[in-house]
Amino acid sequence: MEKKYFGTDGIRGTVGEGAINPAFMLKLGWAVGRVLAKNGSRKVLIGKDTRISGYMFESALEAGLSAAGIDSYLLGPMPTPGIAYLTRTLHADVGIVISASHNPYQDNGIKFFSATGSKLSDEIELAIEAELEKEMQCEDSSSLGKAERVVDAAGRYIEFCKSTVPSSMSLKGMKIVVDCAHGATYHIAPSVFDELGAEVIAIGVQPDGLNINHEVGSTSPAALQRTVLEHDADLGVALDGDGDRVIMVDQKGEIVDGDELLYVIARSRLNEGTLRGVVVGTLMSNLGLEIALQRDGIDFKRAKVGDRYVMELLNSGGWTLGGESSGHIICLDRTSTGDGIVAALQVVYAVHSSGLSLNELKSGMSKFPQYMENVRVSGKVDIASSSEISKAVADAEKELGERGRVLLRASGTEPVVRVMVEGEDAAKVAQITQNLASVVEKALAGCP
């Protein structure tokens, strides 16, 4: 069955439009509660990021769950991976995240974690959607759910993050800038690095409900770059609004993206003999990552774009390390989901244990020039059915040779076809990208 509300990462949109309104959230809470009640479940955690609409949706979800007879445990502002961790350790049946991740404050959304801290299965999401089609009813007053605050949620998660690196690791003498994007990590990430001994300069830690991700965080790292250079810091850490992404900056002020972070962690694990199996990236991962890992004898596989698909491939192979260039890094030997703070700690550990700077550690990987053009389309398209596009792709691949690649894919969130080309010669890559985008635009013109 096709889902009506759930996308690849929960339900998300602009507040007040579509399903992102308090009436729908009330019924969503009730629908989730109905599915849980059928399995004898009673306990749900609710956490949120710092955007202003989170208060409204938290109340609506709590009311819906109560109407279905389910107890709510309110975490307050809490990173998405922190909610996954607490769902496991507090033995809840489901964890609910109210967040739109790296999006601006006008957006919001709902994500769910299972009792194991992983994303809900398609079967459960479909069961929730089936309940949403029914008329909402309220349990008898004697069976209504209760709600309470979890007062030590932040402290529990801080201790967990610290436990993902050796207890002997002291960051004394290291200066680290931490950018929390005015988001859910504002009261957690600086404490993690401070308690490990680092001198911490914190930015993006004054949320007002409206400034989440605004000119700070992993999607806007310029503020972090400036602050690292101003304070002569060893490195910088930029998280996104809900804390599941991380981008870093080295002591020279250079951005270290998700591909480079994945490389640094993989090399560190390899050197210590703890790397297990294949490292997983996505179709968008830089070719330089693949070549660098293969040079070190590390197998690399690509999943579809999206941390959900990286997770699926990791689980299917029994592997532990994967990620995306956007900064979603998954370390299944440390936690159950992508976690920006945990991933940053693994990189900081690599710096600490090697005695090398982050700039030196990333230098083993040379990123290939990568260009992308978005070609707008009017509806769903079948790229593979066009002989003109197929010929243009084949010609481009022949021109690039073995040290380049071409990727065409229809976006799952926008009416565009993404044309991506990689190769060693930046000028050639840029020209091939423009030419290929032009062919795609002409071939798909007038598609319904």
* Candidate from 126-130, 362-366, 367-371, 441-445 with smallest mean pLDDT: 441-445
Domain boundary among 346, 362, 378: 362
Single residue among 151, 180, 197 that ends a domain in this structure: 151
The number of folded domains in the chain is 3
Identify the pLDDT of residue 201. 98
Last residue of a domain, one of 97, 125, 151: 151
pLDDT over 90 (residue 188): yes
pLDDT at residue 265 tops 70: yes
From the number of C-beta atoms within 10 Å of its C-beta (0-12, 13-18, 19+), residue 94 rates as: buried
Number of other CB atoms surrounding residue 88 within 10 Å: 18
The confidence score (pLDDT) of residue 324 equals: 97
Residue 4 is assigned to a structural domain of this protein: no
Give pLDDT, residue 276: 92
Residues 138 and 270 in one domain: no
Give which of 102, 375, 418 is closest to 284, Cα–Cα. Answer: 418
In a domain, 353, yes or no: yes
Give a yes or no: residue 94 inside a domain. Answer: yes
Residue 410: per-residue pLDDT: 83
Give the pairing type, strands 255-256 and 246-250: antiparallel
d(CA 255, CA 222): 9
Residue 274 confidence (pLDDT):
96
Residues serving a catalytic function are 101
pLDDT at 130 exceeding the cut of 60: yes
> Do 145 and 205 sit in the same domain of this protein?
no
CATH number at residue 133: 3.40.120.10
Domain containing residue 418: 370-444
The DSSP element (H or E) to which 97 belongs, if any, is strand 94-98
Residues 171 and 140 in one domain: no
Nearest partner of 407 among 284, 250, 319, judged by Cα: 284
User: Are 39 and 143 found together in one domain?
Assistant: yes
Between CA 390 and CA 436 the distance in angstroms is 10
Q: Tell me what the mean pLDDT of segment 251-264 comes to.
A: 98
Integer angstrom CA distances of residue 354 from 246, 264, 361, 448: 21, 11, 9, 56
**How high is the pLDDT of residue 207?**
98
Rounded to whole angstroms, the Cα distance separating 324 from 245 reads: 9
- pLDDT, residue 446, reads 58
The pLDDT value given to residue 447: 55
Does one domain contain both 62 and 83? yes
Q: What's the CA gap between 311 and 320, in Å, rounded?
A: 9
Phi/psi for 221 (5° steps) reads -80, 0
Per-residue pLDDT averaged across 147-157, rounded?
97
* pTM assigned to the model: 0.92
Q: How many CB atoms lie within 10 A of CB 287?
A: 20
Closest CA to 401 of 385, 421, 417: 421
Residue 278's DSSP bridge partners are none
In a domain, 120, yes or no: yes
CATH number for the domain including 436? 3.30.310.50
Is 214 in the same domain as 199? yes
Is residue 33 within 8 A of residue 64, CB to CB? The reply is: yes
Considering only 2-11, 15-24, 155-164, which range has the smallest mean pLDDT? Answer: 2-11
The answer on pLDDT for 353 being more than 70 is yes
Q: 170 and 43, same structural domain? A: no
